[in-house]
């Protein structure tokens, strides 16, 4: 993954837990797709912050739980009693094929970009009848922000993948799986409060230069409020793809 993405999450280590409310809910729903039971070897990609880790370990018994993340500071809050930490990148994972019984990931794989080939490679890590459950943010997230950015000239958004691209990336010949798209909305008292909260999650890399300037920023905040505010609160939309299944 991009080094700038990693640096953004490194800086957010002390604020991620309190601000990542949507990510926490998504992690819980992701874990609910995993049948309870015993799994000899589990790999979590993007374990930083420990939201999904905690949910999974409350549902399953894991002989070996490998918690991998590319941000060292984000791994530090995790408990070492039930998991083994690995500093690494899910797009360049170091494991042999058929190494794990369960693969999980939440709010991480959108950073793979719009080419989900790396996800197919991740699935190859599963052994016979191995299971997976993932969730990721897809196109349609921050729809209000995208609209107002186009009108005001302020800000830019990371190009999130289309849900359909990910569904097509699962080799149906080898996997049986299910999927679900779900929309979430959070409300903030003001646009600046939303931007500050978003920054504190670390998910701020966009691959483009921001439009700066006090005038464009003020215009962005005013237009967002005027067009979308509801009872004094501004909405922020998130679109999440849940994908789970097992190897045939």
Helix, coil or strand: residue 168: helix
Residue 224's Cβ-count burial label (10 Å; 0-12, 13-18, 19+) is: buried
Q: Which domains does the chain have, with CATH numbers?
A: 3-140+159-184+240-247 (3.40.50.150)
Among left, alpha and beta (phi > 0; psi -120 to 50; other), residue 153 is left
Residue 150's Cβ-count burial label (10 Å; 0-12, 13-18, 19+) is: exposed
What string of pLDDT tens digits covers the 248 residues of the chain?
A: 678 888 888 898 899 989 999 999 999 999 999 999 999 999 999 999 999 999 999 999 999 999 999 999 999 888 777 889 999 999 988 899 999 999 999 999 999 876 778 899 999 999 999 999 999 999 999 999 999 999 998 888 899 999 999 999 999 999 999 999 999 999 999 999 999 999 999 988 776 655 567 888 999 999 999 999 999 999 999 999 999 999 99
Handedness of CA 67, 1, 184, 23 (dihedral sign): positive
Residue 228: in which H helix or E strand, if any? helix 214-228
**What is the total residue count of the chain?**
248
């Amino acid at each position: 993954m991009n080094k700038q993405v990693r640096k953004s999450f490194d800086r957010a280590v002390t604020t991620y837990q309190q601000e990542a409310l949507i990510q926490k809910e998504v992690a819980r729903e992701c874990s609910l797709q995993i049948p309870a039971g015993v799994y000899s070897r589990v790999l979590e990609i993007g374990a930083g912050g420990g939201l999904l880790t905690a949910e999974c370990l409350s549902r399953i018994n894991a002989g070996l739980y490998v918690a991998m993340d590319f941000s060292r500071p984000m791994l530090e809050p995790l408990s070492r009693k039930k998991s083994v930490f690995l500093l690494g990148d899910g797009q360049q994972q170091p494991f042999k094929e058929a190494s794990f019984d369960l693969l999980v990931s939440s709010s991480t794989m959108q950073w793979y970009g719009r080419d989900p080939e790396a996800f197919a490679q991740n699935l190859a890590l599963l052994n016979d009848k191995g299971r997976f459950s993932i969730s990721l943010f897809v196109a349609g997230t921050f729809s209000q922000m995208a609209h107002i950015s186009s009108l005001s000239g302020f800000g830019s958004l990371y190009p999130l993948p289309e849900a359909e691209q990910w569904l097509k990336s699962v080799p149906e010949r080898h996997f049986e799986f299910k999927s679900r798209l779900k929309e979430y909305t959070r409300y903030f008292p003001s646009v600046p409060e939303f931007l500050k909260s978003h920054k504190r999650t670390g998910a701020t890399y966009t691959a483009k230069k921001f439009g700066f300037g006090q005038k464009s920023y003020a215009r962005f905040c005013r237009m967002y409020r005027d067009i979308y505010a509801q009872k004094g609160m501004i909405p922020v939309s998130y679109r999440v793809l849940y994908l789970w299944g097992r190897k045939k």
